[in-house]
Amino acid sequence: MLRSALRAVLPAGMKPRRIRAGPLQGCRLVTSWRDYPAALLGYTELPLMRWLSSRVASGETWLDVGAHYGYTSVALSRLVGAEGRVFAFEPVLETAGHLSATRRINGLSHLTVVPLGLSSAADLTAIEAPLVRGMADHGRAAQAASTTILVVALDSVWGRLASQRRDVHGVKIDGQGMELETVTGMRHVLAASHPQLVIEFHAGVERERLLGTLETLGYRLPGLPVDPVAGEPPGVYMDDRSYSFV
């Protein structure tokens, strides 16, 4: 509650803001202090940043699913370099617009912003989703603040997005409750390229079905926590924690 109260008094205006510290210090992010103070202060997603820095190589193609304002997209773009590619999937149109501005002001021409969510739907589908700090949070109960987003299976659109370079080297998935649908809708891409995966799990996601799908596609179980905790038993997938699969 204290965090919410503090957040409420922070500036809500959206504009390019310089990241003060951390691995992306000096980069600019179009966001607000109210929506994303942790990114602007440079302490958000530090375990994920370390994991990516040790596994992403120059020239690779990575997907950022659930890109939000683009903190991870910017990090990936720096790691793959100008010869690589990053595709950032962000279904909230206003947020995707801010991410496009972040792309431009940081000179990331190899970053492609895709204003879609990923799901298991073979055709483009409109759904309603709760809107929380610029993101579609499917794990939240229905509330007054909501938005319409467009979702589709990656398998249905990847050929047109990727053109002749269809290999995928890695995928970060933070679907805010849509993890199972996202993985189900990219089965063919995963089977063809077997990219590294890092998935953040959220409440309500059917772990058994998701893990069964990954195992069928040749991924080793259990997934490894990106931020290990001493004494944590293997194969326990906690809410709001990220796990890697190879």
Instruction: Report yes or no: 33 and 11 within 8 Å, Cβ to Cβ.
Output: yes
* pLDDT, tens digit (0-9, with 9 covering 90-100), for 7-28: 778 889 999 999 999 999 999 9
Taking the CB of residue 181, how many other CB atoms lie within 10 A of it?
A: 20
227: tokens are 């931020």
Got the DSSP string for 6-62?
HHHTS----EEEE--SSTTTT-EEEE-TTT-HHHHHT-TTHHHHHHHHHH--TT-EE
Q: Which regions of 99-169 does DSSP assign to beta strands (E)?
A: 111-114, 117-118, 125-132, 135-136, 146-152
pTM of the model: 0.95
> Which of the four CATH numbers 3.40.50.300, 3.40.50.150, 3.30.70.100, 3.30.300.30 does domain 44-245 have?
3.40.50.150
- pLDDT-based confidence at residue 226 (cuts at 50, 70, 90): very high
Residue listed under structure tokens 């890697």: 244
Which of 1-10, 50-59, 169-178 is predicted with the least confidence, judged by mean pLDDT?
1-10
Query: Which of these ranges, 12-16, 31-35, 68-72, 228-232, has the smallest mean pLDDT?
Result: 228-232
Residue with tokens 């699969």: 245
For every residue of 56-87, DSSP letters joined together read --TT-EEEEES-TTSHHHHHHHHHH-TTSEEE
Residue ranges per structural domain of the chain: 44-245
pLDDT tens readout for residues 105-140: 999 999 999 999 999 999 999 999 999 999 998 876
